[in-house]
Each structure stands twice: as C-alpha cells, then as structure tokens.
Amino acid sequence: MKYSRAILIHVLLPLAVGGMAYLLLRSNSWIHAQLFSPGSDLPVIKSHGFMADILKYNLPDFCWSYSLASSLFVWKRWWGAAIPLFSFWVLLILAGAELIQLIPGSDFRFDPIDLFAAFLAFGLSFLFLHHPAKNICD
C-alpha cells in the first residue's frame, strides 16, 4: 500500500498524460484515425514549429520513458535487494529503446530529441524516486 502513491503519480499519471498528448495532439496515427472522425476538431495543436512539434512528438516519448524508469525504481525499492549498477541498466533500457530505431530497415524514425527526452526522464525519475535522500515510496 505504501507504494500506491508513487505508482499513481510517477507511473500511471505520466502514461495517461502521454497517451492523451498522443491522442489529442497528433493526427497522423492509426489510433487517432480509429477513434475520431476526419471532421473532428482534433488535433488540438494544428500548427507546426519547434515547440508544437516537441509537444506532439516528444512529450509522449518523455512520458513513456519517465513512467518506465519510475516503475523500475519503485520495483527496485519494493524488491529491496541490491542490484549492481541498477541505475545504469535502467538508463541503458531507456536509451536502447530509442537507439534501436537506428537499425536499418526499421519502420521507426530515430529522433535525437527523443533520446534527450529519455535521458531527461531518467534523471528526473532518479532524482524523485531512486536518490537515497528521497523517500517518496515510504
């Protein structure tokens, strides 16, 4: 029960925010086409530009990375046992999920901003949940 607050705030809320950003801000996704009619007022942000593109394309990836890192840090605190280089492995998973898009023939498109977002998400999650001075799970 003591982990429910951390799971709600640091795992489920970012997933919900990222999912809503994906649904409401993008118009070129399969799921958007299935859920909304072509004449709808979505996406909410119709403009393009650096900040609009960050919100549309990078915010959902940041939220996913933050949620994954947070879930792993909460799990590690629950598990209790020492895991050598645990933070390194979390960072490797997050960076690997972005870097795998560099494989030739992949249907995905690598974006260096997504890689930066993964590092930022790791850092914030580490600061809030894994850092020894923080005790959010208690």
Q: Which of 27-31, 53-57, 75-79, 133-137 has the lowest mean pLDDT?
A: 133-137
As for how many domains the chain has, the answer is: 1
Asked if residue 109 has pLDDT above 80, the reply is yes
Identity of the residue numbered 34: Q
Residue-number span of the structural domain to which 19 is assigned: 4-130
Per-residue 3-state assignment (H helix, E strand, C coil) for the chain: CCCHHHHHHHHHHHHHHHHHHHHHHCCCCHHHHHHCCCCCCCCCCCCCCHHHHHHHHHHHHHHHHHHHHHHHHHHHHHHCCCCCCHHHHHHHHHHHHHHHHHCCCCCCCCCHHHHHHHHHHHHHHHHHHHCCCCCCCC
In the predicted structure, residue 103 carries a pLDDT above the cut 70: yes
What's the predicted TM-score (pTM) here?
0.83
Q: Is the pLDDT of residue 122 over 70?
A: yes
User: CA 115, CA 96: separation in Å to the nearest integer?
Assistant: 9
Mean pLDDT rounded to a whole number for the chain: 84
pLDDT of residue 93: 97
Task: Give the pLDDT score at 77.
Answer: 87
- 28-57 pLDDT, tens digit per residue, is 666 666 666 666 656 666 677 888 888 888
Q: Is 137 within the bounds of a domain? A: no
pLDDT score of 18 more than 60: yes
> Average of pLDDT values for 115-122?
97
Residue 19 lies in a domain: yes
